[in-house]
Amino acid sequence: MTPIDTSIYAAVSAAIRAEAQRILTEGQVSAVVGYTAARRKGSAQPVVITDANDAARLIFTPACVNNLAVYLTKAKKEIPKKGRIGIVVKGCDLKALTGLMGESQLKREDLYLIGVPCAGVLASTFDPARELTADSIAPKCSECDAHLPQGCDFLPPQTPATPALDRKYAAEIARLEALTPQERWAYWKEQFAKCIKCYACRQVCPFCFCEQCLCDRNKPQMVETTPRPAGNTAWHIVRAMHLAGRCAGCAECERVCPMDIPLNLLNRKMAKELKELYDYEAGFEVNDKGPLTSFTEKDDQSFIK
Amino acid sequence: MHPDKPKHAFEPKIIAFVCTWCTYAGADLAGTSRMQYPPNVRVLKFPCTGRIDPVFILKAFQQGADGVLVSGCHPGDCHYIAGNFHARRRFAVFRKLLEFVGVDLNRLQFSWVSAAEGGKWVEVVTELTEKVRAMGPMSEFKELALEEQWSGAINTAELKEAYNQI
Amino acid sequence: MQKYISQHNLNTLLDKLIAAGTRVVAPRMNTGTPLYEPLTSSSEMITDQLPRRSAKEAFFPVCEDIMTYEKEGQKVSVSDIDPARFPETVLVGVRPCDAAAIPVLDAVFSWDYKDEFFLERRRKTTIVGLACTTADDACFCSAVGLSPAETKGSDLFLTPLEGGGYACETFSEKGETLIANHPELFSEPNNAPPLPLAQPQTEKFDLKRVKAWLDEHFEDPSWDSIATRCVGCGACAFVCPACHCFDIVDEGTEKAGTRRKNWDACGFWKFTHHASGHNPRDQQPKRYRNRIMHKFKYYDDKFGQTLCSGCGRCIRVCPVGIDIAAIVDEIGKK
C-alpha cells in the first residue's frame, strides 16, 4: 500500500520538546499533556509532564493517536487543572477543545496549545509498529481538513504531506444510505451485537464529561445497562444523539472499540445531517450555542404535520 | 350510538407524547366534542415538546410500541416561548439517526395540534394508526430484546414467553 | 494418550459434533473481528488469530439471565434458570493463554459459594487447546510462567505439525472420551516435528518479588504515574481471560422481568461507588491499582495463583497504552 510521508515527524517532535521545555522552565504552564514512547515497538502513550527535564520524553509519531483533550475535561479529575496547561494537539484534537470552550468547559487563556503539523496517524494501535500507509491510516485522516491546527500558541514550521485519499466515511455512509431500512437495521444489529459495554467509546470521548451518564442510571433506567443486543443498540443510539452537533470527528470512539464497531459512522452521519439542515459544522469556532441548543423560526418542518 | 367498529386482525399500539398546553387540550377537545378516533393511541402528557427526550421515543419502541406520535404547540405558540422550536431541531436530527440505523420513519409522526384543533388530532391519530396497521407490528426492537450474546443464550420457550409479557 | 489427527479429520470431527447437536465454539470471524463463537461449520474456524475476547465467556457469559419473575395481582412467581439446560460444548482452538486461565477461575467460582452457572458449563465443556504459533510484542505468557505449548486447562491439546495435521495429547477423561467416541478420525502419533512455536519476547517476571513489593506498597506514589492517564473504561477487564467480576441487575417492569448477571470491571468509577455517594476508590489510579493487586497479590493470597496468563489483550486494547507487562516487570525489579 502507498506509504504516507511522515518524515517531518522527527523535526516536529524536536520542536515540541523544545517548546515544552521552554514553557515549563519559564513557568508559563504548570503541566504539559503530550505523548511519549512506550515499551512496545513503535508505540506511544499519553503523558503529563510537570518537570522541564521530562520534556525530552515527548514525541510525535503515527502511533500518537489519542485525543488528549479528554484529559482537560472535568470527567478526568486525576489531571490537576491548576494554572495554565500546555497540550499537544493535532488539528482534529483542537476541534474538540474548540467545542469544549464553546460549552464553557475550558477557557482559552488556561491553555497553551502546541500544535502538530500532522499527515495522519494509525487507525489502530493493535500493532503500533505498523507503517503508516493509505491502508493503515485512520479513516478520519482520509477526510482531514485540519492538517495544520489553526490558532495555536506554537506551531512547528514543518508542512505535512496531505495525500489525497479515498474519503472512507463519506463512501461508507453513502453505501448505507442506499440500503433499505431493513438492510441497515441488519447491518447495525450485527455490529451492535458485538458490543460488550466496556464504555471505552464514552470514556475517551472529550464530550462525554457528564458526572453521571444517563446510561449508568437505573432510576429511571432509560437504557438497559446489560450488554445484550437490545441494550447495546439503545446505548449507541443515545450516544450518537448526545454527540450530534458537538462531535467534531476525532474518531477516538471508533479507534478504541475493542470490538471494531464503526462508531464514528454514526457521528459523521449526524454531522452530515446538521450541515445539510442547519449549515453547522462543529469544531471551527467557539460558539456558545450549538445547532441543537439554538433555533431559527424558519427551520425546516416538512416532516411535521 | 357508536357505529360498529370494524374488526382488524392487528391493532397497533401507538404512543403519543404530547404537550399539555396545546395537543393535550386539543385531544381533550376532540373527546368533549364526541369525535371518534382510534383507541389504539396511548397519550402521555408532558409540560412541553421541549421536555420530550428522544430517548423516550426509543424506549417506547423498545417497550412494544408499533408507532409513535409526538405533538405540541404550533411554532410561535409555545407556552414556554421556544420549547417547540428546540424540539423541532432535535427531532429533525433524531429521525435522521433512527433512519440511519434502520427504523422505518413511517412509524414515527410529528405534528402541531393546537388546543382548538380537536379535528386535526383525530385526523393525525387516525392516519398514523391506519398507516401503522397496514405496516404490521414493529418487530425489530421486540426481536432484538429476545437476542442474547451467544455465550448467555439458552433460548428456552419459557424465556421467550417471559419477554413477550414485558 | 497420544494420537495424530489430520486437518481434514479435525474438520470432520467438528462437523460431526455440530451435526450431533453439540455446541462447537472456536475462533471465527464476526464482521471482521476474531471472536470465540459457536460454529455452524468447521470451515469457519480460524487458527491464525488470537480472538479479541477470551474463551472465558464459554463459562462466564458476557451477560446471562439467572432468573425471571412475573407478578399477577398479589402473586409473584419466580423461575430460576435451570443450569441443566446449558448445552454440551466443545471449545476448540483455544490458545494456551486462554485455556490456562480457566482452571484459575475454577478456584473463585467454587470457593465458598459454588457458582452453578459457571460450574455446570465447565462440566459440560471439553476444552481442546491449540499450541500457539504467532505472538506479537504484547504477548507475555512466558513471563508469567506459561508458554505457547502450555497444556494447563486443556482436556485435549493439539500441536500443529510440519506437513499438516496435529499431534494430540489428552489430559483428562473428557479428552479421552472425545477421542474414544471418534476413533476412526485419529491415528497413531507420527514423527513429524511440530511447527515452530511462538516466541514471546518478554523476560520472565519474578512473581515472588512482585508480590512482595505489592504486599508493602498499597500506598505508593508510583500508582499515580502508572495510571493517571487511565480513562476508566472496562476494555482491559472485558477482554481478559481471568477477570471475573460481575454485576447483577434486574431489568423489566414491575409486572415481569429478568435478573441478569453481566461483566463488570474495577476500572469503572461506579464499581465501588456506595449508595451514600462515598467512593473509596475515588480516583482512577486507585482503581487501576486494584487491577494489579487483584491479579498479582489478592488472588495469590487467597488461592495461591496468579490471575494473569499473559495473553496481552489488555495491552493491545487499552485506549491509552497502559502496559501491564511493563508495569509488572518494573515492579519486579524494584
Cβ–Cβ gap C63/B162 under 8 Å: no
Tell me if B151 sits within 8 A of C35, measured CB to CB. no
Say whether residue C30 is in contact with chain B using an 8 A CB cutoff: no
pLDDT for the residue C53: 96
Mapping DSSP to helix (H, G, I), strand (E, B) and coil, where does residue C173 land?
helix
According to the model, what pLDDT value does residue B7 have?
79
Secondary structure string (H, E, C) spanning A81-97: CCCCEEEEECHHHHHHH
* Residue A141 DSSP label: G
Task: Return the CA Rg of chain C.
Answer: 21
Do residues C88 and C81 touch, judged by C-beta distance below 8 A? Answer: no
Give the pLDDT confidence score for residue B2 in this predicted structure.
58
CB nearest A256 (choices: C228, C262, C319): C319
Q: Which residues make beta-bridge pairs with C38?
A: C25
Res A205: pLDDT: 97
Q: Which of residues 216-245 of A touch C (CB under 8 A)?
A: 216, 218, 221, 224-228
Q: Is the pLDDT of residue A171 over 80?
A: yes
The domain containing residue C30 runs over which residues? 2-332
CB–CB of C57 and B151 under 8 A? yes
Mean pLDDT of chain C: 95
SS3 C64: strand
For an interface test with A, give the residue of B77, B121, B123, B149 to mutate (most A CBs within 10 A): B149
Interchain contact, C326 vs A38, CB within 8 Å: yes
- pLDDT at residue A300 is higher than 60: yes
A272: pLDDT strictly greater than 90: yes
> Please, which residues 56-75 of chain B have a Cβ atom closer than 8 Å to chain A?
58-59, 62, 75
Q: Which residues pair with A137 in a beta bridge?
A: A122
Interchain CB distance below 8 Å, A200 and C231? yes
> Helices B83-101 and A181-193 sit at what angle, rounded to 10 degrees?
80
CA of B53, closest CA in chain A: separation in Å?
Answer: 10
What are the beta bridge partners of residue B17?
A: B44, B70
Report the run of H or E that residue C63 belongs to, with start and end: strand C63-72
The pLDDT of residue A82 is 80
Helices (H), chain B: 23-32, 54-62, 83-101, 118-135, 140-146, 157-165
Q: What is the pLDDT of residue C91?
A: 97
How far out from the chain centre does Cα C35 lie?
Answer: 12
> Residue B135 corresponds to which amino acid?
M
pLDDT, mean over chain A? 94
Give the count of domains, chain C. Answer: 1
Angle in degrees, CA A6, A10, A15, rounded to 5: 125
Interface of A with B in 163-192 (CB under 8 A): 176-177, 181-189
Does the structure's ipTM exceed the value 0.90?
A: yes
Burial of A161 (0-12, 13-18, 19+ CB in 10 A): middle
Give pLDDT, residue B157: 55
Q: Give the pLDDT band (50/70/90) at residue A80.
A: confident
Residues of chain C found within 8 Å of residue A203, distances taken between Cβ atoms: 231-233, 319
| Tens of each residue's pLDDT in chain C, 334 residues | 899 999 999 999 999 999 999 999 999 999 999 999 999 999 999 999 999 999 999 999 999 999 999 999 999 999 998 888 899 999 999 999 999 999 999 999 999 999 999 999 999 999 999 999 999 999 999 999 999 999 999 999 999 999 999 999 999 999 999 999 999 999 999 889 999 999 988 889 999 999 999 999 999 999 998 999 999 999 999 999 999 999 999 988 888 899 999 999 999 999 999 999 999 999 999 999 999 999 999 999 999 999 999 999 999 999 999 999 999 999 999 8
- Integer Rg of chain A from CA: 20
pTM: 0.94
Residue A180: alpha-carbon gap to chain centroid: 30
What whole-number distance in Å separates Cα of residue A138 and Cα of residue C7?
A: 37
Cell of C167: 499431534
According to DSSP, residue A26 is labeled T
Report the C-alpha gap between A12 and B92 in whole angstroms.
43
- Whole-number pLDDT of residue C215: 96
- Going from N- to C-terminal start, the domains of chain B cover 14-137
pLDDT profile of chain B (166 residues), mean per 10 = 71 96 96 95 96 95 95 95 95 97 96 96 97 95 89 66 53
Q: Which CATH class is domain B14-137?
A: alpha beta
Chain B residue numbers with beta carbons less than 8 Å from the beta carbon of A182 are 102
Q: Among A53-67, A135-149, A280-294, C306-320, which is the least confidently predicted range?
A: A280-294
- List the chains bordering chain B where 3 or more Cβ pairs fall under 8 Å: A, C
pLDDT of B158 reads 55
Residue whose C-alpha cell reads 447495525 in the numeric block: A188
User: Distances from the Cα of C38 to the Cαs of A130, B13, B47, C31, C56, in angstroms?
Assistant: 32, 37, 50, 15, 14
**Residue B3: per-residue pLDDT:** 59
Q: Which of C31, C237, C321 minimises the CB distance to A38?
A: C321
For chain C, which residues lie within 8 Å of any Cβ of chain A, measuring from their own Cβ? 30-33, 35, 52-53, 62-63, 136-138, 224, 228-235, 237-239, 249, 251, 260, 262-263, 265, 268, 270, 283-285, 315-317, 319-323, 325-326
Please state, in angstroms and as integers, the Cα–Cα distance from residue B93 to each residue in B29, B89, B96, B100, following that order.
Answer: 31, 6, 5, 11
